[in-house]
A = this chain, B = another copy of it.
Amino acid sequence: MEQRVNIPEAIHGGIVRDAKNRMPEEGFCHSLAGFFKVLGDTTRVRILLALALSEMCVADIACLLGMTQSAISHQLRVLRQARLVKARRMGKISLYSLDDEHVESIVAEGAKHLSHGDRR
């Protein structure tokens, strides 16, 4: 794709030059945003908060959240690909749980920011 947009000159050249050297690479920024994007959906957040309470199968989550099995299954796939949840098969049932302890601390960190905003 061709770039014909008009990028402005920096006003503080020194700061920009320095920042250019110290900025993380694009790939990292992209991955980081991709990770947060997964957390940026109400249904997926609710699934994670549910799994923080207990391991559950797809039908249980669907019932709990009042959504279809298909919708939940699609979102579980997104969460699995992001390594936020993991599944184990027990017969015809798939039991989902949080993939690691990180998940809860990230959610907690986000919640902290929300309550911080309320306080002002």
Residue positions of A touching B, CB distance < 8 A = 5-12, 15-16, 18-20, 22-24, 26, 28-42, 44-46, 49-50, 53-54, 56-57, 59-60, 62-64, 66-69, 83, 93, 100, 102-103, 105-107, 109-114, 116-117
Contact = CB atoms under 8 A, between A and B. Distances in A.
B15 A56 contact: yes
A19 B30 CA distance: 34
A26 to B, nearest CB: 8
A116 B10 CA distance: 36
Number of copies: 2
Contacts of A114: 28, 31-32, 35
State the 10 A-B residue pairs at the shortest beta-carbon distance, nearest first.
A37-B40, A36-B39, A10-B63, A40-B40, A36-B40, A33-B42, A33-B45, A8-B59, A29-B46, A83-B117
Contacts of A50: 19, 23
A102 to B, nearest CB: 5
A97 to B, nearest CB: 12
A36 B24 CA distance: 20
